[in-house]
A and B are shown apart, each in its own frame.
Chain A
Amino acid sequence: MNDLIKKLVEAYGPSGFEDHMRDLIRPEVEPYVDEMSVDALGNLITLKKGDGSGLKVMIAAHMDEIGVMVTHITKEGFLRFTNIGGVRPHGLWGSRVQFANGVIGMIGSDRIDDRSKIHPLSKHYIDVGATSAEDCPVGVGDAAGFVQPFFTNGKLLTSKTMDDRIGCVVAIEALKRLETTPHDVYFVFSVQEEVGTRGAEAAANGIDPDVGIALDVTITGDVPECPPMSVSLGKGAAIKVKDSGMIAHAGLVRLMRQRAEAANIAHQMEVLDGGSTDARSIQIANGGAAAGCISIPCRYVHSQSETVHADDVQACIDLLVEILSKPIEL
């Protein structure tokens, strides 16, 4: 599984520019699904058919990642940029980004006079080695993702973009293991989550599911001086009750918990004060869906060293298979 993780987390795919990700994921899922399509926004929508006795279930894991977009090229060939999704200025200095055409740039910042303050994004720039606007290999409107290789440290897995390629891995592995299901399960590899869960909204509007489950990362409360949060790395799949964008369907939460308990899958309950997932869009699309989320606990979310625990990833896969292989009564 680590090979698949490495392949997905290191790949390029800022929000809105997920074509490459789609090409990577498609062959992984093709043998296991009955139907496959791509919608107008670029969501990869796959269907594994049920036996007709179940519900219409949408599983969403987003392919996109946070990144940057060029807004201006200076006379000297440096690129000013804006954020795609939740890119914070902390720790940008010295990091590397890669554009769709393979060009890699380094991020620098304007002179710092007061070291107790952090420059805003607008005082950072990308250096791609150009000397003028004319010889610059990228243009205004071009998007880049961060560059950072995957590595393992015992059971800890670290890379950029665990958010949410690890969710894609959970979906793919669950799909491989799911032999039969009563439900029509739409595994959606969604786009534009980081800019406001937009892809899942369009997909859910098109699919109109009864039940929606997002697979995404959540922050943990097990590192020094962090905000209060009951989720810890290595303690199992996190079953989301609430985040700042939605309250999960109470019946679905109960069902997830019962299935985890019955099958002895390590799990923990999640209440998240900041952030949300594709589930919020699925919940409100059309006539609404019973929505919930299985979260993969992750440290340092939206940094270039997002870290998850191999046992948690496995627990999330186990829990998803457990839910999908049996009837869902809410």
Chain B
Amino acid sequence: MKTFKLLQTLSETAGPSGLEHEIADVVADVWQPYVDTITRDRVGNLIAIKYGEGPEPRPRILLAAHMDEIALMVKQILSHQGNGFLRVTNVGGVDVRHLYGQTVVVHGKRALPGVLGSLPPHMLPPDRQDRPFGYEELVVDVGLSLAEVETAVSVGDFISFRQPLRKLQGKQVTGKALDNRASLTAVTLCLEYLQKRAHTWDVIAVATCQEETRLLGAYASAHSQRPDTAVAIDVTFGKGPGANGENVFDLGDGPVLDIGPNVHPGMFNALKDAAKALEMKVHVGTHNRASGTDAFGLQIARDGIPTGLVSIPLRYMHTMVEVVDLTDLERSGRLLGEFIARLDDKFLQTLSDGMMEKGDSKR
């Protein structure tokens, strides 16, 4: 119940990539009781630090979960018979086939509810009837006259999707922006876990901005915070219609740990060890090039950061009916918390030892 409420608060708040102030405010409120400092940086990241109990200078771990979501943006204001309609474009990886009939909020001078409409298929020219509506056919209709629209809305205004979080069977829930509010929920649960479990390292929890467009927040925060290690938390593909085979995971069967070029093998092993200590089932995911997550940006900040990746399985990614299992969020939070509690002053040496046989160097 508590996890549902938390995810509900986060999921139902608007946070299009590039307009994250509202969701950042909400995350700040949620994290406030668990951390020592909260700041925002010049690109829009929310950065919270919970100090460890070790002697200074303490090593630092950065947790990155992005707070932005895919969205739309006003591209043109059209006039038709005295009414104003909005032509839109995508912000991040929107599947245009899902848009017809969705409800949205236009973030103009005031927030306006709207509907994504189009002419019915049989009224379109014959050559357009058998294919999905594109951005040329779709309009956002806010039900106002041209004059009213022009007063309240401007080209460049963001549009977010409207969808309350709903319960499905068992512990599964559906809603919008669970990519990546599910992970923000897990990070919150991790911070809560660390209230009762001692840890020596400093924890830098970052709600990153503009992941969906260019991993901006991850690059920027890793550069400015200079952590010793980092973990990205994001969603991965859940098993479902059209999604089967490798690198697709059952919902409710535990978090996924990734291995591949974006992940330091030592971080992967340490996360696995933490899961073992908790007797928690985890799955292994692979990426052969870019992981498609904040881990890609974190890893190459400055002279490089040992980076890990924890993922939560999610069905129907980048739609307005994303589905997750709340137990996966809770387990991911506990796993991160346990992993952090187990970090000691020898951990960094262990990481570099793993890169060579004897881990020596000549300095």
Contact = CB atoms under 8 A, between A and B. Distances in A.
A and B touch in the complex (CB under 8 A): yes
Interface of A: 210-211, 221, 228-230, 239, 241-242, 245-250, 253, 268-271, 273, 280, 283-284, 286-290, 330
Contacts of B201: none
A284 B217 CA distance: 9
Contacts of A239: 156
Given A242-B73, A286-B223, A228 B156 contact: no
B218 to A, nearest CB: 10
28 contacts: A228-B75, A228-B76, A230-B75, A242-B89, A245-B214, A247-B91, A247-B213, A248-B18, A249-B43, A249-B44, A269-B155, A270-B155, A270-B156, A271-B73, A271-B74, A271-B75, A271-B156, A273-B89, A284-B214, A284-B219, A287-B220, A288-B41, A288-B42, A288-B43, A288-B219, A288-B224, A290-B42, A290-B43
Given A284-B216, A289-B42, A269 B18 contact: no
Taking residues whose C-beta sits less than 8 angstroms from the other chain, chain B's interface range is: 20 to 34
Interface in B19-41: 19, 21, 41
B246 interface: no
Interface of B: 17-19, 21, 41-44, 73-77, 87, 89, 91, 136, 154-156, 210, 213-214, 216-217, 219-221, 223-224
B62 to A, nearest CB: 13
B18 A230 contact: no
Question: By DSSP majority rule, is chain B's interface helix, strand, loop, or mixed?
Answer: mixed
B216 A287 contact: no
Given A271-B74, A288-B220, 7 more contacts: A228-B136, A241-B155, A270-B155, A288-B216, A289-B43, A290-B42, A290-B43
A72 B74 CA distance: 47
Contact of A230 (B19, B41, B155, B221): B155
Contacts of A287: 41-43, 220-221, 223-224
B75 A210 contact: no
Nearest to B71: A247
B76 A210 contact: no
A49 to B, nearest CB: 21
Given A241-B155, A270-B155, A284-B214, A247 B17 contact: yes
Among A246, A250, A287, A289, residue most surrounded by chain B Cβ atoms (within 10 Å)? A287
B160 to A, nearest CB: 13
B85 to A, nearest CB: 12
A283 B216 contact: yes
Contact of A330 (B18, B42, B75, B76): B42
A246 B73 CA distance: 13
Nearest to A209: B42
Nearest to A288: B220
A202 B76 CA distance: 35
Nearest to B75: A271
Contacts of A249: 18, 43-44
Given A287-B41, A290-B42, A290-B43, A269 B136 contact: no
Contacts of B216: 283-284, 288
A253 B157 CA distance: 11
A229 B214 CA distance: 23
Contacts of B19: 250
The 6 tightest CB contacts between A and B, nearest first, are: A288-B220, A241-B156, A247-B18, A287-B224, A288-B43, A269-B155
A228 B88 CA distance: 10
Nearest to A257: B154
Contacts of A288: 41-43, 216-217, 219-220, 223-224
B43 to A, nearest CB: 4
Contacts of A280: 214
Contacts of B73: 241-242, 271
B75 A250 contact: no
A31 B137 CA distance: 54
B156 A284 contact: no
B109 to A, nearest CB: 12
Contacts of A242: 18, 73, 89, 91, 156
